[in-house]
C-alpha cells in the first residue's frame, strides 16, 4: 500500500518536469544566448504642429534577416503611444495620431524579442521635433496699428497690416478685435471692423489652430468729405441754402445733413475666388440736393469716390434771373422792387437797382411767381418756369396808362360823333363863352 502511494506522487512530478523541459528553447537547453536583433528608426523630419508623424521601423536579425510579424511598441517621452507589426520585409509603418506640442520629443521604438524564435529584444530612439505653428492675421485693406487680443494677449498690426503669432499647442483660442467701432488710424481715416474672411461677422470669436494658417480681418474705411456747390459757370453757391442731400452707393442710401464735413465709407469688402477678401472703392451717386425746396441735381449723373481730404464739387442747377419792371404802354422803368414767391412757398422782397431792375443769381430750377412792388398803378403775378438763365419783365399798368386807356375811347367816341355832322359845330360855337 505504501509503495503504491509513492508511485502516485511521482507521476505528477515527472509530468511537470517533462512539460517544463519542453518549454525551454533549444538554445537555452543547450545553454546558448538568443540571437541579437537590430531595430532602426528612419530619420524623422521636423513635424509641423498639428500633423501626425509616421514612424518607419526596420527590424532585422544581426545577420540582416528581416523579422516579419513582430510587434513594435512606440513611446514618446516615455509614454506608450502606438504599436505596429512588421511586414514581410521587417518594416513597420506606425502613425502617431496624437497632438504634440511644439518642441523636441524623445521617441522610442521597442521590440521585446521572441523566445520561440530565439530572438533577443531591441530598442531604437529618435528625436521628434515639432515646429510651432504660425498664425498670421492680415487686415484688409492693410492697416497699421489695429489691435487684436489672442488668447488674452494683445497684438498690434505692423506697417503692412499684419500680425504674426507663434502657436505651440493645437487648440481653440479666443480672438477679439479691440475697438472695432471706428479706430482712428490717422486724423482723416477711421477703420470699422466689418467681417472675417471665413464668413464670421462678429469681432469676437474663437479660432481653432490645428496648424499654420492665415486669417483675414476686413475693415471699412471712412473719410470726411467736404461738399462745394457750384453752378454751370463754376461759381460758388451758398451751401447754407442746402436743406439735404441724398447719395447712393451700391444698394445703400445715405442721407446727409447740412454739416460741413461728412464721414462716409470709402470701400466695400468682397469675397474673391476662395476665401480671400478684397477691398474695392465705393462709388457714390448724387441722387438729390434740395435747395429752396427743389431738387437741384439730375439724379445719378454725378459720381464721386471717398478719399482722404476729398472735396466734392457738386454742380447744382441754379440760374441767374434778371428782373425788370416796365410801364405797359410807354415801357419806361417803374416800381421800387419785386416780390418773389419760391417753389417752397417762401416769399422775399428785393429792391430794384438803377433803372428799376435787378439780377438774382442762383435760383434753383422750379416754378416761381413774381410781381413788381412800389409802382403807382396795377401789377399782376407773373409765373416763371425756371430752367435756364433768363430775363423776366414785370408789367405795370400805371395811372398814366389807365388815363390814356380811358381817354382814348372818349376821344374816339367824340370823333365818331362829329365826323359827318358839321352842322354840330355852330351849335358848339353858340355855347362858347363870350370873350371879355
What pLDDT, in 10s, does the model give residues 364-413?
Answer: 999 999 999 999 999 999 999 999 999 999 999 998 888 888 876 766 76
Q: Using CA atoms, how far apart are residues 220 and 191, in angstroms rounded to an integer?
A: 6
Q: What is the mean pLDDT of residues 142-155?
A: 95
Of the chain, the percentage scoring pLDDT greater than 90 comes to 69
Within 8 A by CB and 6+ apart from 132, the residues are 49, 102, 166, 167, 168
Task: Count other C-beta atoms under 10 Å from residue 328's C-beta.
Answer: 17
pLDDT of residue 425: 53
Query: 7, 279, 233, 15: which is closest to 141 by C-alpha?
Result: 279
Task: Count other C-beta atoms under 10 Å from residue 288's C-beta.
Answer: 18
Residue 420 has pLDDT above 90, yes or no: no
User: What global pTM score does this model have?
Assistant: 0.71
Higher pLDDT, 109 or 4: 109
Q: Using CA atoms, how far apart are residues 114 and 148, in angstroms rounded to an integer?
A: 59
Span 37-131: which CATH code?
2.60.40.10
Q: What is the mean pLDDT of residues 295-323?
A: 94
User: Residue 12 phi/psi, 5° resolution?
Assistant: -60, -35
pLDDT of residue 233: 87
pLDDT of residue 411: 67
Residue 181 has pLDDT above 50, yes or no: yes
Span 133-221: which CATH code?
2.60.40.10
pLDDT of residue 274: 73
pLDDT of residue 279: 95
Give the cell for residue 40. Answer: 532602426
pLDDT of residue 271: 84
Q: Which residue has the cell 471712412?
A: 222
* 318-400 carries CATH number 2.60.40.10: yes
What pLDDT, in 10s, does the model give residues 409-418?
Answer: 766 766 665 5
What pLDDT, in 10s, does the model give residues 327-353?
Answer: 999 999 999 999 999 988 899 999 998
What pLDDT, in 10s, does the model give residues 223-276?
Answer: 999 999 999 888 999 888 888 999 999 889 999 876 677 899 999 999 877 789
Of the chain, the percentage scoring pLDDT greater than 70 comes to 86
SS3 track for the chain: CHHHHHHHHHHHHHHHHHHHHHHCCHHHHHCCCCECEEEEECCCCCEECCCCCEEEEEEEECCCCECCCCEEEEEECCEEEEEEECCCCCEEEEECCCCCCCEEEEEEEEECCECCCCECCEEEEEEEEEECEEEEEEEECCCCCCEEEECCEEEECCCCCEEEEEECCCEEEEEEECCCCCEEEECCEEEEEEEECCCCCCCEEEEEECCCEEEEEEEEEEEEEEEEEECCCCCEECHHHEEEEEEEECCEEEEECCCCEEEEECEEEEECCCCCEEEEECEEEEEEEEECCEECCCCCCCEEECCCCCEEEEECCEEEEEEEEEECCCCCECCCEEEEECCCCCEEEEECCHHHEEEEEEEECEEEEEEEECCCEEECCEEEEECCCEEEEEEEEEHHHHHHHHHHHHHHHHHHHHCCCCCHHHHHHHCCCCCC
What pLDDT, in 10s, does the model give residues 48-97?
Answer: 999 999 999 999 999 999 999 999 999 999 999 999 999 999 999 999 99
Q: Which residue has the cell 521587417?
A: 90
Residue 14 has pLDDT above 60, yes or no: no
pLDDT of residue 166: 95
Tell me if 133-221 shares its fold with 318-400.
yes
Domain ranges of the chain: 1-26, 37-131, 133-221, 224-314, 318-400, 402-430
- For the chain, the residue count is 436
Q: Using CA atoms, how far apart are residues 322 and 77, in angstroms rounded to an integer?
A: 98
Q: Using CA atoms, how far apart are residues 131 and 333, in angstroms rounded to an integer?
A: 96
Mean pLDDT across the chain: 87
Amino acid at each position: 500500500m505504501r509503495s503504491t502511494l509513492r508511485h502516485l506522487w511521482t507521476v505528477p512530478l515527472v509530468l511537470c518536469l517533462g512539460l517544463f523541459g519542453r518549454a525551454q528553447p533549444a538554445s537555452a537547453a543547450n545553454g546558448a544566448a538568443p540571437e541579437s536583433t537590430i531595430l532602426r528608426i528612419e530619420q524623422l523630419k521636423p513635424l509641423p504642429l498639428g500633423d501626425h508623424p509616421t514612424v518607419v521601423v526596420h527590424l532585422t536579425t544581426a545577420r540582416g534577416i528581416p523579422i516579419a510579424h513582430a510587434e513594435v511598441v512606440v513611446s514618446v517621452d516615455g509614454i506608450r503611444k502606438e504599436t505596429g507589426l512588421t511586414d514581410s520585409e521587417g518594416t513597420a509603418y506606425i502613425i502617431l495620431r496624437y497632438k504634440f506640442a511644439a518642441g523636441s520629443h524623445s521617441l522610442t521604438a521597442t521590440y521585446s524579442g521572441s523566445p520561440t524564435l530565439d530572438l533577443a529584444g531591441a530598442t531604437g530612439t529618435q528625436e521628434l521635433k515639432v515646429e510651432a505653428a504660425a498664425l498670421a492675421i492680415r487686415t484688409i485693406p492693410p492697416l497699421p496699428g489695429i489691435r487684436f487680443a489672442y488668447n488674452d494677449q494683445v497684438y498690434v498690426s505692423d506697417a503692412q497690416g499684419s500680425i504674426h503669432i507663434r502657436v505651440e499647442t493645437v487648440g481653440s483660442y479666443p480672438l477679439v478685435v479691440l475697438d472695432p467701432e471706428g479706430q482712428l488710424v490717422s486724423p482723416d481715416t477711421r477703420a470699422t471692423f466689418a467681417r472675417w474672411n471665413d464668413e464670421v461677422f462678429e469681432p469676437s470669436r474663437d479660432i481653432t489652430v490645428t496648424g499654420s494658417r492665415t486669417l483675414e480681418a476686413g475693415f471699412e474705411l471712412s473719410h470726411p468729405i467736404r461738399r462745394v456747390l457750384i453752378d454751370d459757370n463754376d461759381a460758388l453757391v451758398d451751401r447754407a441754402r442746402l436743406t439735404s442731400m441724398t447719395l447712393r452707393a451700391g444698394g445703400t442710401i445715405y442721407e446727409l445733413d447740412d454739416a460741413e464735413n461728412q464721414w462716409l465709407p470709402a470701400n466695400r469688402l468682397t469675397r474673391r475666388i476662395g476665401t480671400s477678401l478684397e477691398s474695392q472703392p465705393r462709388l457714390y451717386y448724387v441722387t438729390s440736393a434740395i435747395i429752396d425746396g427743389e431738387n437741384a441735381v439730375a439724379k445719378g449723373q454725378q459720381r464721386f469716390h471717398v478719399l482722404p481730404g476729398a472735396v466734392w464739387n457738386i454742380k447744382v442747377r441754379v440760374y441767374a434771373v434778371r428782373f425788370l419792371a416796365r410801364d405797359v404802354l410807354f415801357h419806361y422803368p417803374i416800381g421800387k422792387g419785386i416780390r418773389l414767391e419760391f417753389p417752397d412757398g417762401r416769399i422775399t422782397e428785393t429792391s430794384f437797382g438803377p433803372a428799376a431792375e435787378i439780377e438774382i443769381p442762383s435760383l434753383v430750377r422750379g416754378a416761381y411767381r413774381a410781381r413788381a412792388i412800389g409802382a403807382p398803378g396795377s401789377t399782376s403775378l407773373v409765373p416763371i418756369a425756371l430752367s435756364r438763365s433768363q430775363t423776366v419783365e414785370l408789367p405795370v399798368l400805371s395811372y398814366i396808362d389807365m388815363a390814356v386807356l380811358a381817354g382814348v375811347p372818349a376821344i374816339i367816341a367824340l370823333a365818331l360823333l362829329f365826323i359827318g355832322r358839321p352842322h354840330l359845330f355852330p351849335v358848339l360855337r353858340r355855347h362858347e363863352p363870350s370873350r371879355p
